[in-house]
Amino acid sequence: MLTSQSPQERNPDGSPAAPNAAFKPHPMQGWSPDFVPKLTADAVAMEVIHRILTIAGPDAMKCSKDLATKEGIFVASRPARPWPARCRSPPMRQGRQHLGDAADTGERYLSTPLFADVPADMTDEEWAITRMTPGFQMKPA
């Protein structure tokens, strides 16, 4: 919605008066509201944001799966936020920083298309990993 530059209709108190015209549901549940928050609009208007990266739905889903399976970071609906830092970041210029957060967890998304191809049962390799922590070892059911 930010890159579309579609104006956000607001009530006198700054709250959204209607969904943003550029809103489209993201393939990952929990991704975005249908409005531009006032704080976000203010930051854009103040030009404190250097660059906005738009991450395609399939790329965000792949990054989320990669973060979960390769890094053990189970963030689900927020993978595009750390995308620049973790998943093929564009080169950074001197003095620039990427900002990303991972304020979500993935357990509520296990039954969604995001993790549909992840088997419910652990593999032998995953069981071996659990045995690496002497104080906490899982046992098969």
Q: Structural domain boundaries of the chain? A: 1-52, 57-89+100-141
pLDDT of residue 131: 81
Of 59 and 16, more confident = 16
Provide the residue type at 10 as one letter. R
Closest CA to 5 of 45, 46, 33: 45
Provide the residue type at 107 as one letter. E
At which residue do the structure tokens 């652990």 appear? 122
pLDDT digits 0-9 by tens, 41-85: 999 899 988 777 777 778 877 877 777 777 777 776 555 555 555
pTM check: above 0.85: no
Residues 6+ apart with CB under 8 A from 64: 28, 75, 76, 77, 79, 106, 114
CA atoms within a 13 Å half-sphere pointing along the CA-CB vector of 127: 7
